[in-house]
Amino acid sequence: MWNAVTRAVSPSVGRCELSYIPREPIDVAQARTQHRDYLRVLQSVGCDVQTLPEQNDLPDSVFVEDVAIVLDEVAVLTRPGAPSRRPEVASVADLLCHHRPLLVIEAPATLDGGDVLRMGRTLHVGQSARSNPDGIAQLRELLIPYGYAVEGVLTRGCLHLKSAVTALSDDCVLLQPAWVDRERFANFRVIEVDPAEPHAANVLRVGDALIMPTSFPRTRQRLLDAGFRVTAVDVSELQKAEGAVTCCSLVFRSDP
């Protein structure tokens, strides 16, 4: 069984943090409709969905992935790189403590969950606009007792590592070579995004199912041709907030 922790869309989502895309008006009602569709897709691929209430004064709070990293043995509470996002952590911690023991990233470190890509017992962590070397080093030290390796990965031109590369299976990744060096994932089978869809690398894996935005049909076809099972969902309003499908949930096994 899979758990998926999510949070309802804040009415202030239009005031979200942005780093690499221009600001556009966000239709809050439409964003909420799309988010409900996203929750239904999570349920359809086998997730028990838990949804936290909206936080009116925290525009980015729908993007729960960034405030925690949930592993089989423990969960790590992050210290987001954007100061405006740090108040999001407490309420997620209150829920996660019922599922895992909690560890904490502390100042001066910064770390966003969107920069953490787990492949087996290795966590690839983006050194990005939101996650600094101290954050990577603290995560490495925290996880040594649990047998995880932590490897820093430089990113360029994107918000998070998982903007540039995500897992399709235990041995295959979807990658945008303009934003992360393909050689860093040479030990894996690599499928590149379609060049016409530069933002298409963010795909959510739940077991052997994949979820991706409807806005990337060419890249989706590449995944279908490779034999993957893919469900597409419209998250176009949340994409205006520099979000996608991984960042709207914390997905983990209830029985690791």
Element (H, E) at 143: helix 133-143
Residue pair 11/56 in contact (Cβ under 8 Å)? The answer is yes
Burial class (CB in 10 A: 0-12, 13-18, 19+), 223: buried
Place of tokens 């100042």: 107
Residue of 16, 47, 172, 247 with catalytic role: 247
**What are 154's two structure tokens?**
């430089």
160 an active-site residue?
Answer: yes
CA distance from start to end of the chain: 9
Residue of 124, 160, 199, 248 with catalytic role: 160
C-alpha closest to that of 81 among 102, 99, 108: 108
How far apart are the C-alpha atoms of 125 and 148, rounded to whole Å? 12
Active site residue ranges? 160, 247
